[in-house]
Amino acid sequence: MQHFQHSILIEASPATVYAALTTLEGLRGWWSEDSDIDGDTIHMRFGDIHKDLHVESAQPGREVRWLCSSTPGGARCTDEWIGTQPSFRLRGEGEGTRLDFEHLGLTPTLSCYAMCDDGWRHYLESLRQYAATGRGTPYQLATAEA
């Protein structure tokens, strides 16, 4: 079964895209404002959906790969992501970066697939905008709680 894949061209250097994937400022700028980093673990929160992602690989300007280690949180949270691996491969292309994203283990057989497909497409576009302009469209805590 095919796992989720998506490629985009980003008008920013591989170093800029890498920083967006590996720093708290970057992650809050494109993915979720409600996030933290504790050592090699990224804690992402989207309201009552929580994901803990262990950094498996971080090769500057080349690759970032995470392993979902747990999904603590509220009732809408499922454990379908546990053991899956979001992976970002970066390659300089002209004056920009080609980002090849794969979420190994995220397949159409999972009940969360449609929501995750929509979500990844939105957030990868947010990453593209953030890396190119400094402004993405992350999950916003204030909007969600208002």
11-34: per-residue pLDDT in tens?
999 999 999 999 999 999 999 999
Q: pTM of the full predicted structure?
A: 0.93
Q: Where are the domains of the chain?
A: 4-145
Over residues 120-131, the mean pLDDT reads 98
pLDDT band of 49, cuts 50, 70, 90: confident
Which positions ≥6 away from 111 have C-beta within 8 Å?
A: 78, 80
pLDDT band of 38, cuts 50, 70, 90: very high
**CATH homologous superfamily, domain 4-145:** START domain (3.30.530.20)
